[in-house]
Amino acid sequence: MAENGAQQFNQAELLGQMAELQAEVQRLAEHSTQNNAGKHEEGSSKSSALGNSDPLSITPPKEKLTLDNPFSEEITNFRMLKNFVLPNSLEPYKGIGDPRAHIKKFQSMMFFNGANNEPILCQSFPTYLDGATLLWFSKLSAGSISSFEDLARSFIDYFAASRIYVHGSDYLGTIKQGQHESLKDYLTRFAEATMEIPDLDPKVHLHALKTGLRPGKFRETIATTKPRLLEEFRERAAGQMEIEELQEAQKTEEQPTRREEERTFKPPSKKEQKKPFKLTPKFDTYTRFNTKRENIIKEILNAKIVKPPARAGSYQDQRFVDRSKHCAFHQKYGHTTDECLIAKDLLERLAQQGLLDKYVEGRKSRETKKEPEERSTEKEKGKWTTIDPPGGS
């Protein structure tokens, strides 16, 4: 009996405790609901006071469309001249490039048009701004600009990062004269690079200019004379450029002659083989040399003054070649060097150019008589012409 009473008592206590817990839970839930309702009301009142809290529904403030006047009263009150016209050849600056160059170009064009006072420069400058630079100008503080110097300094400082140099003075050390590049082309290319380098030291300029020369006679001349000024270097360079131009002109004149010789050396076709072929001398008179033509030909070939013919001319039937005769110029049998009209004409051209003076008798004197083996007749005016060309050439 005692045990049954204890069990009933314990169950009654448990039931009472559970009822108390449920009541506490219900109380807490009601309290929480009241707090949430209060916060919601408070938030609603705040949102009604501040507006809708949804960021998508927030109306952004309206952008100001008018520009603040950054100029002082003196500049603002200045009245532009009636006959003043803005130059239209200056491109607006958009924030790319050297801002200093834009300032200098703007000033030079304004001065050229007669505008040389501060108010005109300040009022005209915004006309030549666009994009990012115009936004920069719109953000200047009101009344902060009292002179064009202030405006220019603020402009250059703000866009200093846009000042891009393609090369520095160290770049000049990489400019070298090409193996076949003329001195004129090298100096032109070098000058274009120096245009991009501000405040270039003349000594650095001269040193890089001399260092870039290719090895040769002109570089040796510069190393010997040691010009200390750019003007001295240019004087010596001018003489060298004249020499190169004369040499180039001489090559141009010789090219048609060389082509003509190559056509002469071309093997004859079947039609040409049927016709007898004879070479005719190209000069009325020939220089008398103090050395055999064969020896002169050998020496100029060894000295590479001229090149041997690419293809020897076959103006004789090779089936009947005389093996006792050899030409040092064509390096083939069939005729001697003295009989070769092509070699003879070649030596005469070189002699007229002054390249064979050491082989000429006297002081570059020209012999007016023909060679003994050549037959000639005198015209009425006293000129000598060849009647028959030498055979076997």
pLDDT digits (tens, 9 = 90+) for 164-187: 655 667 888 889 999 889 999 999
Q: Which residues pair with 143 in a beta bridge?
A: none
**Angle of helix 230-265 relative to helix 202-211, nearest 10 degrees?**
20
53 has pLDDT over 60: no
CB-based burial label for 35 (10 Å; 0-12, 13-18, 19+): exposed
Domains of the chain listed by start with CATH number: 73-162 (no CATH), 169-248 (1.10.1200), 271-393 (no CATH)
According to DSSP, the residues that pair with 385 across neighbouring strands are 377
CA distances from 156 to 91, 132, 150 (A): 17, 14, 10
pLDDT band at 274 (very low <50, low <70, confident <90, very high): low
64-94 per-position pLDDT tens digit: 556 678 999 888 888 887 778 888 888 899 8
pLDDT in tens, 206-235: 999 999 999 999 999 999 999 999 999 999
Q: For residue 289, give both structure tokens.
A: 């040399």
Whether 51 has a pLDDT exceeding 70, the answer reads: no
Q: Which of 60-64, 115-119, 259-263, 382-386 has the lowest mean pLDDT?
A: 382-386
pTM of the model: 0.34
Residues near 317 by Cβ (< 8 Å), separated by ≥ 6?
Answer: 273
Q: What is the pLDDT of residues 327-374, one digit of tens each?
A: 888 888 878 888 888 888 888 888 888 888 888 866 444 444 444 444
CA angle 355, 356, 359 (to 5 degrees): 165
Q: In this structure, are residues 328 and 297 in contact, taking their beta carbons and an 8 Å threshold?
A: yes
- Orientation angle between helical segments 148-158 and 99-112, nearest 10 degrees: 150
Q: Are 196 and 167 in contact (CB under 8 A)?
A: yes
> In the predicted model, is pLDDT for residue 52 greater than 60?
no
- How high does pLDDT run on average in the chain? 75
Query: What confidence category does residue 387 fall into, taking pLDDT thresholds of 50, 70 and 90?
Result: very low
pLDDT over 70 (residue 291): yes
**Structure confidence by residue, pLDDT tens digits, 97-149:** 788 888 988 988 888 766 668 888 998 999 999 988 988 998 898 889 999 99
Which residues, including other chains, have CB under 8 Å from residue 322's CB and lie 6 or more apart? 333, 334, 335
